[in-house]
Amino acid sequence: MTLGRIHSIESMALVDGPGVRSVVFLQGCRLRCQYCHNPDTWSMTGKNIQEMSAETLVKRLSRFKPYYGDKGGVTFSGGEPLLQKDFLKEALRLCKAAGIHTCLDTAGCGIGGYEDILTFTDLVLLDIKHYTREGYQQVTGQTPDESLAFLETAQRMHIPLWIRHVVVPGLTDGDEHLEGLKNYIWTLKYVERVDLLPYHVLGVHKYKALNIPYPLEGVEPMEPQKLSNWQTLMNHHRNES
């Protein structure tokens, strides 16, 4: 029996997929995004990590099923949930068997086994870090190869996608960048929604607590209204297609 390493569980979330959802944050991430607000999820080890079987987790989640309604369900997030592929696959399978809608919040940077995982996945919230190889490496410190392999599998399996992209002043903002992002997203199939997420500093205190230098020290948060026109434009093409 594979035990999952869980950072935390949020029982009533409204921004991590459709409807009311439970969100399971799994430990572990290989990316080091400059704007990451959850550095406490990077490591697979730690004193506050919960270890739990998929059966125990889904029994706990099933208690909230009356609140999910027709649209809600469970979202597996992180960290990067794909790094715990065996546990994730089993938890997703059990959720589906229990009649619970399943969603992955992921950057696609896992360790393979994607087809098995996506077989039990209803929706993917895909965090696109950057649309160029150089930009991806600048943002994350890694190559985009693994994320592209995951995306290829999701496209081949016709998995619905909600695209997310964090817009950071001086890093992933500006009309030229967002135009390039738009053109890239429009090459993808099965995209139901695009969300531009303005940079915030809500996780900076975690870096100080962990004694980790914060890469974007001094960068001011972005006001959401600055992205409203681009947000509308990126979703307009989808609605018209």
Give pLDDT tens digits for 56-111.
999 999 999 999 999 999 999 999 999 999 999 999 999 999 999 999 999 999 99
Per-residue pLDDT at 135 exceeds 90: yes
Strand (E) or helix (H) holding 114: helix 114-118
User: 30: closest CA among 22, 20, 41, 21?
Assistant: 41
What gap in Å lies between CA 110 and CA 83, rounded to an integer?
Answer: 5
pLDDT of residue 238: 56
Distance CA 104, CA 220 (A): 29
pTM across the whole model: 0.95
Question: What pLDDT score does 56 carry?
Answer: 98
